[in-house]
Structure 1
Amino acid sequence: MTSPSEPIARRILSGRMLAAFAMGFYGGAPLLLTGSVLLAWMEERGIDLTTIGLFALVGLPYTLKFLWAPVFDRFHWPRLGRRRGWLLLTQLLLAVSIGSLAVYGPGASALVLAGLALAVAFFSASQDTLIDAYRRESLHDREQGLGASLYVNGYRLGMLLASGGGLILADWIGFSDMYGLMAALMATGMLVTLLLPEAAAGEAHPNSLKDAVVLPFVEFFRRSEAVWILLFILLYKLGDTVAGQMTTPFYLEMGFSKTEIGAVVKLFGFWATVLGGLAGGALILRYGIYRTLWQFGLLQLLSTAAFAVLVHTGPQLPALTAVISFENLSAGMGTAAFVAFMANQTDRRFTATQYALLSSLMGVPRVIAAAPSGWLATTVGWQNFFILCALFAIPGLLVLPRFRTWLAD
């Protein structure tokens, strides 16, 4: 364990943190191979739009991963351990399923294509579950924020490589060969897993599959603050989630060109988020999760409200750059603290199951609460919309004081 006086740079470059970044990269790389990249390949092959639309269902394993997570908590592999054993098997099957997509692709029947895409999504979601559990068990509570920021940044880099890099590469060598290269890339993740030490769970794992399914729920809901923890997870990032759903239509309506949006929002904003994540992880290490959840939550509130300023400035590139920088830095910091908070709420005996449940719950606002965002923007106008979204962040902050006695360091 690192000492409190050890420099932040040395902690970031420690083996545990580099492992968090590498695992994040391998977690993010396959995500869009069954999403936007596959849909582009299908469009190129002339697949009808109705079929393309139905492929959104392929992403269901990312929402339902808690259903099979108890298997990962219950069973372990001889010599390799509970996390590394499952990770190796999952990464092998993930590489094989991506390679199978490279071979068959949209040229196969829709049923075969859907089955292969579903297999990629299933093994990718399983890998996410195992990586989250490994990170939770291999890092001290105080290190979760920095580990989460490096993991999230690695995840974003993997997504960027597979989506933007994958599409560019497909223009040169074709989609089939590009998917083949992605399969080979994912196979290298097995080498990283073999180099990692097995995470110490700290306590005995469940004695039966029934215990692995039931006990995570029993343990969690016996806590006096269980309902408040779930409520906080639903509310903490509600404001920027609802606002984020409508930002692209807002930019276009304000008069920004697609080139400006791509350059500032997507590329510049990506690096601002990465910087925010690293800064957030370092600050969590210094000040603890409770204080930084407050600080980053307030920054998220203010950065969401800042979009209302663009209503008055019009399509001014410096104003857009300033707002995007502020918002993405705040979002990166807030995400680091939020992910660290969720990790620390898991019991090490059931890390995979409980974290899968909490992370699935985290996605609820993105799907449900963000759905009426277009109606809200139309009804109240852009300025009032972003001010309301900023106010949506307040309920989550009001829940925080309930955690002060046990969350504050």
Structure 2
Amino acid sequence: MKYKLLGVLYLVQGMPYGLQSSLLPIYLRGVGLSFTHISLTKVLYLPWLLKVLWAPFVDQHWTKRTWLLLSMCGLGMTCLVCTALSPDENFLLLAIVLLLMNLLASVQDIAVDGLAVIILNRKELGYGNTIQVVGYKLGSVLAGGGFLTVMHIFGWSNLFLLLATVYFLATLYTLSAPDFMITANVFITKVKYKNKTLKRLEILKMMFLVPGTLWTLGFVLIYKLGEHGATSMFPLFLLDHGMSPAELGFWNGMVGMTSSIAGSTMGGVLLAQKRKLFNLLRISLMLRFLSLCYQTILLTVYTSELWYMTAAAVLSIIIQHFIGGLVTTLTFSLMMHCTKGADERIQATHYSFLATMEVLGKLAFSTVIGGLVDWTSFIFCYLLFIFLSFMPLIHTLYEPRLQF
């Protein structure tokens, strides 16, 4: 029952990301915006970088169920507002609503992750993190590639109306969730401090004293740099070379993300077989490095006039997403293992801090990569992606002495 609940929660949590990472860039490029402007829309993810600021509040007040109900109901309301807005006519107002959507989704993320840390034991982390990643990506597929594929049929407003319905149904499901959802409030104020600043400093100190935190922090900051740059720019490269938005929605959004889900599932299965986490990480990171080399070579020879070139491009998307899903599941398992060593009063905050750094690592580079492509070239940027994808592989050589 706990796996089913987490699956539903992570499914709806992934929808705002898919909407903004898969649908919006293709739509904006289709109406003529530059790579620089499209990359700057990553600023909308700012709440994900700042969520560690309100994570202690979610940790200390009310129950996880309450936060989930409030955040998902709010997400449903923002989707209803989006039905009346159009990206080409009300982009600024739409951007504000999407920023609010990300804020609510970040609150939901804190509550779901905190719940997962509490209800999953160490033996369940492999399957639990597979459900986390697969559910999140499935939501991303439905709201991103799925919506992009059928958008010309249903239209912008109807798709957001459907998304609002999904959020309200998820809210009702959470309301009827079993007893383990009603977790006791854990107040950090059990330890009496005289002022709020000292309390926050104490929380920060407790987080960094958790074994393996610094090593894990460094890894999550760099592990997606090269991959995320490639996955965000390659679809735009194909769009500029003749592939239609509907085709991209199908191959990159639907097929690519399905491949990513398959990779994430394999990661969970391998962990459940008690394979050593760091050995799996090193192998998957090396495979990702080789896949980026393949995609870089493809950029130099690609032409849409030859069918086998298109097939090679689609194959590169499938391979890249599969390996990316595998790496992601292993990384989130690593993060949750690390958080399990934290004081239970700050576990949601600790995990949110690591997750925030993971988002920062992805967005800090992808926000400027569009400008870098405009200024230089795709080939130059892909050589940079290859270099960046090698960094986390080197990082794993300095394995911390932890029971992972």
TM-score class, shorter-chain normalisation, is 0.7 to 0.9
Structure-1 residue corresponding to 2:332: 339
In structure 2, relative to structure 1, the CA distance for the partners of 1:66 and 1:280 (3 Å cut) is: same
Aligned equivalents of 1:100, 1:324: Cα separation in 2: 34
Unaligned runs of 5+ in 2: 30-36, 304-308
CA deviations over 1:317-357 (Å, ceiling 9, x no partner): 44334433322211110011112212222233223322222
Identity %: 24
Aligned residues: 382
Q: Give the equivalent residue in structure 2 for 1:25.
A: 11
**Paired position in structure 2 for 1:363:** 359
How far, CA to CA, are the matches of 1:114 and 1:233 in structure 2? 28
Q: CA 1:217/1:334 → structure 2, altered by over 3 Å: closer, same or farther?
A: same
Q: Deviations over 1:106-142 (max 9, x none)?
A: 6999887666544433222211221122222222234
Distance 2:182 2:278 in 1: 25
For residues 361-395 of structure 1, the C-alpha deviation after alignment (integer angstroms, 9 at most, x for no partner) is 1123333334357748986973x754553342333
Match for residue 284 of structure 1 among 260, 271, 276: 271
Q: Which amino acid aligns with 1:236?
A: Y
Match of 1:16 in 2: 2
Given the superposition, is the C-alpha separation of residues 178 and 306 from structure 1 closer, same or farther in structure 2, using an over 3 Å criterion? closer
Change (3 A) 1:196 1:172: farther
- Residues 296 and 333 of structure 1 are in contact (CA less than 8 Å); yes or no, is this contact kept in structure 2? yes
Match of 1:328 in 2: 321
Cα contact 2:144–2:253 (8 A) shared by 1: no
* Cα distance in 1, alignment partners of residues 253 and 355 from structure 2: 24
Evaluate the alpha carbon distance shift between residue 386 and residue 115 of structure 1 in structure 2; reply closer, same or farther with a 3 A threshold.
closer
1:73-120 Cα shifts (integer Å, max 9, x gaps)? 1123xxxxx212221222223323433444x54699988766654443
CA distance in 2, matches of 1:380, 1:33: 27
Matches within 5 A, 1:26-65: 26-31=12-17, 57-65=43-51
Residue 64 of structure 2, aligned match among 83, 86, 106: 83
Does the CA contact (< 8 Å) of 2:15 and 2:142 recur in 1? yes
Cα root mean square deviation, aligned: 4.2
Deviation of 1:277 (Å): 0.9
CA-CA distance at 1:57 after TM superposition? 5.0
CA offset at residue 252 of structure 1?
A: 6.0
Match of 2:254 in 1: 267
Cα offset, 1:297, TM superposition: 1.7
Structure 1: tracts of 5 or more residues without a match: 1-14, 44-50, 77-81
Q: Which amino acid aligns with 1:265?
A: N
Task: Name the aligned partner's letter for residue 367 of structure 1.
Answer: L
Q: Per the alignment, in what secondary structure is the counterpart of residue 63 of structure 1?
A: helix
**Mapping for residues 10-409 of structure 1, pairs under 5 Å:** 15-31=1-17, 57-76=43-62, 82-102=63-83, 105=85, 116-166=97-147, 175-193=156-174, 194-198=176-180, 205-207=187-189, 210=196, 213-223=200-210, 225-251=212-238, 257-258=243-244, 261=248, 263-286=250-273, 287-311=275-299, 314-315=302-303, 316-346=309-339, 347=342, 348-370=344-366, 371-372=368-369, 375=372, 382=379, 386=382, 388-408=384-404
What displacement does 1:201 show?
7.5
Q: TM-score by structure 1 length? A: 0.76
Q: Which amino acid is 2:165 matched to?
A: A
Q: Deviations over 1:117-172 (max 9, x none)?
A: 44433222211221122222222234333322322222222233334554677656
TM-score by length of 2: 0.77
Q: Distance in 2 between matches of 1:278 and 1:291?
A: 17
